[in-house]
Amino acid sequence: MEQTRRRHLPTDFIQGLFPRTIKSDVHETEDNYIVTAELPGINKEDIDINYEDNVLTIIASQEDDSNNDAHYHVKERHITDMNRQFIFKNIDSKAIKAQYINGLLKVTLPKQQTKTEITID
């Protein structure tokens, strides 16, 4: 039986090639844009949301809870910072709301009224 050798690339190298992103859905209703983002295993306190210059930014950090002295056979969970940005125009920035339940972040961005009806005298 022929024995084959496998080479294993360091996981840090692989993670650097494919940075972790936040999986998200964005949909629109008549009054709002709604962003739903998957952030499993992230604590609410480790999520930052910012809306500035028409850009919604979501940043999440994950702490390493592993034992540094342990000899791992498989280690797929890593410390990582993730972020995602979306462009939204005509948003009522003072009315943006967010909730985080069971690993899902839901950000509701209310549309700002931009049209004004003008009556003719």
Which residue ranges make up each domain of the chain?
21-63+79-110
**What pLDDT shows up at residue 92?**
96
Q: Which residue has the tokens 């090639």?
A: 17
* Higher pLDDT among residues 100 and 69, named by residue: 100
Q: What is the CATH number of domain 21-63+79-110?
A: 2.60.40.790
Is the predicted pLDDT of residue 81 greater than 50, yes or no?
yes
Quote the CA–CA distance of 17 and 11 in Å, as a whole number.
Answer: 10
Is the predicted pLDDT of residue 110 greater than 80, yes or no?
yes
Contact criterion met (CB below 8 Å) for 31 and 84: no
How large is the average pLDDT for residues 105-120? 88
Residue type, 46: D
The pLDDT tens digits of the residues spanning 27-69 come to 999 999 999 999 988 999 999 999 999 999 999 988 766 667 7
* Higher pLDDT among residues 98 and 71, named by residue: 98
pLDDT-derived band at 114, boundaries 50, 70, 90: confident
Quote the CA–CA distance of 49 and 15 in Å, as a whole number.
Answer: 24
Is the predicted pLDDT of residue 78 greater than 70, yes or no?
no
How large is the average pLDDT for residues 73-92? 85
**What pLDDT shows up at residue 1?**
46
Contacts (Cβ under 8 Å, ≥6 apart) of 48: 57, 58, 59, 60
Quote the CA–CA distance of 110 and 89 in Å, as a whole number.
Answer: 10
